[in-house]
Structure 1
Amino acid sequence: MRPAKKAVLYRMVMPEHVCPYGLKARRLLKAKGYDVEDRWLRTRAETDAFKTKHDVATTPQAFIEGQRIGGYDDLRRRFGLKVRDPKALTYTPVLAVFAVAALMALAASQAAFATPLTVQAAEWFVAFSMSLLAMLKLRDVETFSTMFLNYDILARRWVPYGYVYPFAELAAGVLMAAGVLTWLSAPLGLAIGGIGAVSVFKAVYIDKRELKCACVGGDSNVPLGFVSLTENLMMAAMAVWMLLARHA
């Protein structure tokens, strides 16, 4: 019988704090077939003494066959798994918003019309997307407005627009979802979507600048580009659709 692979894991387990990366490291080791000797660092003094002894800056620390591997990220590298780079650009946040908005729209259509595939579902998708994106911006309007100033042509001429934008986007999205006050929501969506599309197109495709998009808030690593342009065009197209439908 093949002997069990053994690992020793030192992690902080205190009344006021249980290290989440320690829990992740233990789970990863067990998933890889290791018999884990789980050693708890129960006080700050015990943790500091461990760090000094092993000349490390952080915990948890994993040892395999007597060799120190390191923390959770080091374990992932050891096993050939991807390690997230906090500075890496990614479309994941905005794609997650679109996916959730689509599911919400399909669910609402199913509840209202007994089928998920309706024109109303498409309208709700855009309205829900706008509302969710506005919510993310409203978490920290100050940070959003600062990033927004990097590329928005109106905000650069009139700085308060960066503070107004999230509220305008939310108002347009909620009113469009409700199907009320189209005389207000459609022009509002057309204005902010149109200005946004022109701003993104100029920054990315004319000026060739590499910037981060403020679409999901000012603390994101979403690159300014095609997805950002699509978001604004979608908003403007929805506004035009609603205006045409109103006068049909």
Structure 2
Amino acid sequence: MNESLLPAQRLAIARNPQRPGITDYIDMLFTDFVELRGDRLCGEDPAILGGVALFHGAPVTVIGTRKGKTLEENVRFHFGMPSPEGYRKALRLMRQAEKFRRPVLTFIDTSGAYPGMEAEERGQGEAIARNLFEMSRLTVPVIAVVTGEGNSGGALALAVANRVLMLENAVYAVLSPEGFATILWKDAARCEEACEIMKMTAQDLMGLGVIDEIVLEPEGGAHLAPAIAIRQVDQALHRQLAELSKKSGTALAAERYEKFRKIGAGKENT
């Protein structure tokens, strides 16, 4: 593990547009993937990709935020910022997974939920809150992987999991460093300083008990050797899922609830 990088350097790596995204993980980790679209209420949000697949021969539900790698894809996928329809689609797939007893695997790479007025008008806050509530009660194994940037409730809406994994150079925080600096100092240019204060790296969050495992990356970042990085994720997911699959549904739900209740307890002066 490269511990010499500064938080701002890890943020830059996490935001690299060529970093493996949800489509890369689906292509290399799963077989027989069938995409399921629409929230059955309003419409389809391409910023969230989800469906059913086989993982090491067993059925799972896969859900992830999708940014794209080119400007054209960024625009089409709303730069990975989901709207209410995306979160409701994710919830529909998770409820389906619960019904058919499929584990849920989520992949998170988003700067946050889409903040536009039209998203608020269609119930963005309620959609995120509903996901948090419903995910906390699922009785199937849930594993979340922060693969790049995980900011705000837009990321947490897919991360109420029994196990939360982070890639070595991923970041996970209450909001972007630019937003933090703007709110605290009225100066977005102090982004690097904010990165230091926010404790947003995998290494920081492992120490705080917010995440459960750091998945190592190739030297320089996952974008330089995607196949190696994705193989590391595969091994971590397979190991964690095997452990969780031994537990009863009641135990999984109770463990997940207690896990998130304990986050931050006794850390006020950290």
Q: What TM-score does the superposition give when structure 2 sets the normalisation length?
A: 0.26
Give the structure with the larger strand fraction: 2
Give the structure with the larger helix fraction: 1
Q: What TM-score does the superposition give when structure 1 sets the normalisation length?
A: 0.27
The structure with more radius of gyration:
1
Larger RCO, structures 1/2 (Cα 8 Å, 6+ apart) = 2
